[in-house]
Amino acid sequence: MRQLNLNKAFTLIEPGPVVLVTTHDGRKNNIMTISWTMVLDFTPVFAITTGEWNYSFAALRKKKECVIAIPTADMLDQVVGIGTCSGADTDKFAKFKLTPVHGKVVKAPLIKECLANIECKVIDFVRKHNIVVLEGLVAYIDSARKETRTVHAIGDGTFIVDGRKLDRRKMMVSKIPEGL
């Protein structure tokens, strides 16, 4: 994994892939699967929807930091498995054979097997809507990876894998942030 320029980190979330969010509560690591995410700013700032119903939420509230990890199509069974059991009684890194890696800034671990990781701190809780607002601090990408297709949850138990890429850079020149 090499570091990715932070101004590109929003491009990992903007397309709407299912992500894994890791936390460390002071004692142990945990991972949750999250599909309800949104970019809030290029700087980057992200929103995720979560609350008391997720075991990880207590760690987010307490430590105010996490890692957003981007899994790929070959990891779908792990992604679904992580989303259908609880960190209350499961060591998800062990169960799903994932490798926690120390980040530079936060205690929540990067996931070595993922395509990309973003160390984040919580900058706000919008409790009324169960929105957690995250600022990305350091981003990483595994550019040696063969499988780079992410997956998008439909919400009914099916998932769409990334297909072909279309280029509209010329049309969008006025809207693309500098340096991208």
Q: Which is nearer to its own copies, 128 or 146 (CB)?
A: 128
CA distance 162 to 147: 11
Q: Find the part of the chain contacting its own copies (CB under 8 A) among 88-96, 104-112, 113-121, 147-155.
A: 147-155
What single letter denotes the amino acid at residue 134? L
Q: Rule CB under 8 A: which of 34-73 touch its own copies? A: 35-40, 42, 45, 47, 49, 73
Q: Rule CB under 8 A: is residue 154 a binding residue for its own copies?
A: yes
Closer CB to its own copies, 38 or 101, in the complex: 38
Distance (Å, whole) CA 118 – CA 115: 11
Min. distance of Cβ 26 from its own copies in angstroms? 28
Q: What angle do CA 114, 35, 142 make, to 5 degrees?
A: 15
Q: By CB under 8 A, is residue 127 in contact with its own copies? A: no
Residue 57 φ then ψ, to 5°? -60, -35
Residue 158 lies near its own copies (rule: CB under 8 A) = yes
Look-up: residue for tokens 């307490």? 62
Find out whether 132 and 111 touch, Cβ atoms under 8 Å. Answer: no
CA pair distance 42, 51, nearest whole angstrom: 25
Which residues would be at the binding site for its own copies (CB under 8 A)? Answer: 8, 10-11, 14-17, 35-40, 42, 45, 47, 49, 73, 76-77, 80-81, 83-84, 124, 126, 128-131, 133, 149, 151-177, 180
